[in-house]
Amino acid sequence: MSTKTPSRLEKILASGNLAVTSECGPPRGSNGDTITKKAEMIKDYVDAINITDNQTSVTRLCSLAACIRLKLMGLEPILQMVTRDRNRIALQSDILGAASFDIFNILCLSGDHQSFGDNPQGQNVFDLDSMHLIQTVRYMREEGKFLGGDDIDRPPRMFVGAAVNPFADPFEIRVPRLAKKVAAGVEFIQTQCIYNLDKFELWMKQARDRGLHEKVYILAGVTPLKSAGMAKYMKNRVPGMDVPDEVVERMSGVPKEKQPEEGIKICVESIQRLKEVEGVRGFHIMAIEWEEKVPEIVEQSGLFPRPKVE
């Protein structure tokens, strides 16, 4: 596939290499070093770094400012943008702000409901949904226009991504929903954390049956489990998460001090198996507050060193 943006992530994917992305959550404060330190830990092991946008609706340092910090370090940020907090004026404005710093990747999301966060009394916006945000960025890029129809001076050149959750309900529309995002103009996908590999493979097969794997780059999402407690929490408490019993049992089956190691092992094994799945074009490693483990996961999975691109 030929590239349409200056995004390094897009180049790596287009060259046929398996891409590796990871993510950093900005701090709950104005200390910018927190984000640069996290990025330092993983920078040589990933092709691009997502910066979350007030994830789980908890107020944090903004994604755009954190992305600029990465950019100034010479790294490749993926700007996560949720439609929960801003209307179409603010969204387009922030896209231009990011474009002015040559941020070349964006991940379009609707965002968790604010009732999960630190301001459950707040308004939500949802002027657009994630599907519309994909359309908006593509429109700004391709047409060089604002949604209002006016021309943009130096339009954004962003590689447009979105998230999909192959495990949420109802399962029967999970592939149609991917098709819908592809029709909206999405170019890469990062999936929800995969623990149920059988179900993921079934989803991927259905996506292949419709040829979707040739229209969009799919990065399989993985999250190493730190403990049996975390496995249970993810299974029971996180909406739309599918953690099979055997994963929980495997984590519970080793002594507490060995559980982090077991979690990494499961993660690496998952990557090895997912590498064989046709249509998986890379990995998105979400090591939640455990960024220091990303290098070891990447190395053990045989994804190191990362390819160099122009």
Partner 1 sequence: MIVAERKPIEEIMGFAKNCKKILMVGCNECVTVCYAGGRKEVAILASALKMAFKKDGKGLEVTEVTLERQCDHEYLEEIRNIVDEHDAIVSLACGVGVQFMAEKYLTTPVFPGVNTRFMGVTEESGVWSERCQGCGECILGQTAGICPISRCAKRLLNGPCGGSTNGKCEINKDLDCAWQLIIDRLKALDRLDDYEEIIPIKDWSTERAGGPRKVVREDLKQ
**40 within 8 A of 292, measured Cβ to Cβ:** no
- Taking CB under 8 A as the criterion, the residue among 3, 56, 124, 300 binding partner 1 is 124
Candidates 84, 141, 213, 306: give the one binding partner 1 (CB under 8 A): 84
Instruction: State the minimum distance, in angstroms, from the CB of residue 135 to partner 1.
Output: 7
Q: Is 308 exposed, middle or buried (0-12, 13-18, 19+ CB in 10 A)?
A: exposed
Binding residues for partner 1, rule CB under 8 A, total 35
- Exposure letters 35-71 (e unless 16+ CB within 10 A, then b): bbebbebbbebbbbbbbbbbbebeebbebbebbbbbb
Would you say 29 or 148 has its CB closer to partner 1? 148
Based on the shown chain and the rule CB under 8 A, indicate whether residue 116 belongs to the binding site for partner 1: yes
Helix orientation angle between 197-209 and 259-275, rounded to the nearest 10 degrees: 20
Residues within window 240-269 making contact with partner 1, judged by CB under 8 A: 240
The helix/strand/coil state of 169 is: coil
Nearer to partner 1, 162 or 247 (CB): 162
Dist CA 225 CA 241 (whole Å): 13
Considering only residues 148, 149, 170, 305, which one is a binding residue for partner 1 as defined by CB under 8 A?
170
Stretch that binds partner 1, among 158-166, 194-202, 281-289, 292-300 (CB under 8 A): 158-166
Binding site for partner 1 (CB under 8 A): 84, 88, 110-113, 115-116, 124, 126-132, 135-136, 147, 163-165, 168-170, 172-173, 176, 179-180, 183-184, 192, 239-240
